[in-house]
Amino acid sequence: MEVLKGFVEHIIFKNPDNGYGVITLTAGGAELTCTGIFLQLDEGECIEAEGTYVEHAVYGKQFKVERFHIVPPEDAVAVERYLGSGAIKGVGAALAARIVRRFGDETFRVIEEEPHRLAEVKGISAKKAREIAEQVEEKKDIREAMIFLQQYGISNTLSLKIYKQYGMGLYNIMKENPYKLAEDVTGIGFRIADDIASKIGIHTDSDFRIRSGILYTLNQSGSEGHVYLPEALLLEKATEMLELSQQQIAPQIPNLAIDKKIVIKETESGEKCIYSMTAYYAELNCARMLFELQRAFGEADVLTDEQRGKLEQKLRILEDANQMELDTLQRKAVLEAIENGIFILSGGPGTGKTTTINMIIRYFEEEGLDIFLAAPTGRAAKRMTEATGFEAKTIHRLLELNGAVSDDEKSASGVHFERNELNPLETDVIIIDEMSMVDIYLFQSLLKAVAPGTRLIMVGDRNQLPSVGPGQVLKDLMESKVFACVVLSKIFRQAGESDIVVNAHRINEGKEIALDNKSRDFFFLERDNINVIYKHMILLITQKLPKYVNAGIFDIQVLTPMRKGGLGVETLNKILQQYLNPPAEEKIEIPHGDGFFRMGDKVMQIKNNYQLEWEIVSKYGIAIDGGQGVFNGDVGIIKDINETAKTVVVEYDDLRRVTYPVTGLDEIELAYAITIHKSQGSEYPAVIMPLLTGPRMLLNRNLLYTGVTRAKNCVTILGSRNTVMQMIANENEQRRYTGLKDRIFEIMENK
């Protein structure tokens, strides 16, 4: 490994996220292009770098830097170069020259030891002298901190976050309790903190480690949909992760409760439920706000028999005027929505939810009330708009998402909405569709923005898969039986002609379905060989289904229960990419993971990114709208790959264009095939489901029902008849530990 010593002439490129950059280094009178991680480096600085010479195919000879450290400028020329480079705010080339003329080679010593003397230079006040000295000192502190943290394998990006959080106090934190990093610094979880602690020499049975491990276990359970964990299960999971005994772990649970890090609630049966503080108060706040909304429509608003009779008459006139015909249950639903501050409408496909919503909207519109419509995802909002003729937004957009993270960056959502209890939504009625997808944190944010006196109408199918995030809000609300609720069950004639609808209901009831291919929209192809399934899948997508459902090949969606295995999304996407978007000379490709992205690929955002900027451009390339926030489940097409700028442009369904740096591509993945979980809230002209074998936990009724109901015109199942029948018979869903229903009961009892 070679060593170079010189000064940074120019920073050509630097990625602010990971610190990767390209610089011009002047060493020994010659200029050389260097590449490496240069997060905390400014033009004009002197460095000593270790690395190797490489030959780049385009840019020629370069020096690949493995590690470097800043060295003090060795002479007055180097000092002047550094001070005048812009590294020190408020010091330009002219002022730098005057400083060096006054102090010469002693300049740096004067700045560090006698900063007041800088005021001897024309143009520098005592205040400015202090500011210059402080900047030099801070830069020195940051560099030393980063060098210190690097020895524990901490990246430059995280090092900077740690320094910003603790300043010079980071040394004590690292020495005494590195697990505090997991609590305070975004991007550092228990695993990283634990790795640091082991390098420092902290014992595996330290109280700090056990406490942090318990909190980590609770937070991780949120990704499985749990809001709390029973104490026994928490101990079991923490024991496995920490590799300690339950006797060592258990005493720290009450200690965490005393420190207000967790909440312990005991059930009537004596079971202890352990919540993270954030999760507990999310449920409690939701229960409290629901009560306030409910109370705003008290007894005074309950209709008399005479009023109800007049209302029913008015509804019949509206039905005739809008050419709608409601059945008894639908009419009851409309009346309940009018009479109550909170109303829940549930039902499976074909049961007339859309017709009912439309009548509710028409009634309130006739009354001159303002109505807002929203859904959890862009696709669901688009469907709602098409079904009602009224604009529907995503819940995030309705609440006016601010891309900046909230004050509590470590909170579960970590986002800030402009609409909240201090700035509520200005409307009379809010209708939320696809409520089964709404988790407890998004529900909390929504309720904060709903002022008492505003009607909240929630629509969904409780038999769909629950939200990706923690909670099962719709199910808990319905099971509480506290709020007005109507479950539609009648399948209407037109819908009843669809075997998709009929079979969906039969699946939900645990009844066998016909797999005889006599249907016009529900097909089953018995295939027991994976390669044969691949062949038929490609044939269906490229030749058979586009004409049959009048849709493009990218509109046809492959849904599978699994991520791994021969019929998991990872394998299927590689195969489908090859056939649906084959390589071509004009299609640029960029490597990613063990595969690559290609122009024209169908991709999906796989995590919520509230700070990612998007814009909508006209056909002339002019931006006509913009905003922040791209969400888990958004699907789009790769429109451009810029190899020079190292960016990828994705256009999502609603024409939002997002530019990703190549370092941010972990947020997207190919979407020719997606999991059934990821399809929630979406609808496709045709769905193909390969079902052969898989874990029993994933092959259940709920999953099959959700997959089937995603199809608008056609469902094709490829695979095993036995597997389909086993899924219908298997009603075991993974239990979710949630307490919203209990919190609602508590609030109602205490008020």
Q: Can you say how many angstroms the Cα of residue 154 is from the centroid of all Cα atoms in its chain?
A: 24
Average the pLDDT over 145-172 and give the result: 77
Return the pLDDT at 697. 78
Amino acid identity, residue 427?
A: T
Average the pLDDT over 361-377 and give the result: 93
Average the pLDDT over 603-630 and give the result: 83
The pLDDT confidence band at residue 300, using thresholds 50, 70 and 90, is very low
Average the pLDDT over 604-609 and give the result: 85
Chain segment 311-334, per-residue pLDDT in tens:
888 888 888 888 888 888 998 999
Amino acid identity, residue 602?
A: K
Return the pLDDT at 602. 96
Return the pLDDT at 127. 87
591 near 626, Cβ under 8 Å?
Answer: no
Strand 647-652 to 635-642 pairing: antiparallel
Average pLDDT, the chain: 87
Please tell me which residue, 270 or 375, carries the higher pLDDT value: 375
Return the pLDDT at 388. 92
Q: Which pair of tokens denotes residue 81?
A: 């170069």
Q: Which pair of tokens denotes residue 536?
A: 């038929």
The pLDDT confidence band at residue 86, using thresholds 50, 70 and 90, is low
Q: What is the DSSP string of 559-619?
A: EES-SSSTTSHHHHHHHHHHHHS---TTS-EEEETTEEEETT-EEEE-S-EEEEEEEEE-T
Best-predicted range by mean pLDDT (193-207, 556-570, 616-630): 556-570
Burial of 59: CB neighbours in 10 Å, binned 0-12, 13-18, 19+ = exposed
- pLDDT surpasses 80 at 186: no
Return the pLDDT at 74. 67
The region of weakest confidence among 61-70, 116-125, 156-165, 682-691 is: 156-165
Chain segment 730-751, per-residue pLDDT in tens:
887 778 999 999 999 999 887 6
Average the pLDDT over 225-236 and give the result: 94
Return the pLDDT at 409. 38
Return the pLDDT at 408. 38
Please tell me which residue, 466 or 308, carries the higher pLDDT value: 466
224: which DSSP letter? T
Burial of 654: CB neighbours in 10 Å, binned 0-12, 13-18, 19+ = middle
Average the pLDDT over 548-562 and give the result: 93
% of residues, the chain, pLDDT over 90: 44
Return the pLDDT at 196. 83
Half-sphere exposure of 368 (CA within 13 A, CB side): 0
Return the pLDDT at 406. 40
**Rounded CA separation 253/239 (Å):** 13
Average the pLDDT over 510-517 and give the result: 89
The pLDDT confidence band at residue 73, using thresholds 50, 70 and 90, is confident
Return the pLDDT at 148. 79
Return the pLDDT at 307. 76
- pLDDT surpasses 60 at 610: yes
The pLDDT confidence band at residue 407, using thresholds 50, 70 and 90, is very low
% of residues, the chain, pLDDT over 70: 95
Return the pLDDT at 77. 76
- pLDDT surpasses 60 at 89: yes
Return the pLDDT at 405. 45
As beta bridge partners, residue 648 has 641, 660
Amino acid identity, residue 747?
A: I
The pLDDT confidence band at residue 197, using thresholds 50, 70 and 90, is confident
- pLDDT surpasses 90 at 524: yes
Packing angle between helix 353-366 and helix 378-388, nearest 10 degrees?
Answer: 70
Return the pLDDT at 414. 56
3 state SS of 440: helix
Q: Which pair of tokens denotes residue 502?
A: 């009929």
What are the residue ranges of helices labelled H in 345-409? Answer: 353-366, 378-388, 395-398
Return the pLDDT at 403. 60
Cβ atoms within 10 Å, residue 750: 8
- pLDDT surpasses 90 at 471: yes
- pLDDT surpasses 90 at 482: yes
Chain segment 650-702, per-residue pLDDT in tens:
998 778 899 998 877 888 999 999 999 888 878 899 999 999 988 877 888 98
- Name the one residue in this structure whose structure tokens are 């959700």: 706
Please enumerate in sequence order all residues whose Cβ is within 8 A of that of 274, keeping only pairs 6 or more positions apart, or say none: 218, 228, 229, 230, 231, 234, 253, 262, 263, 264
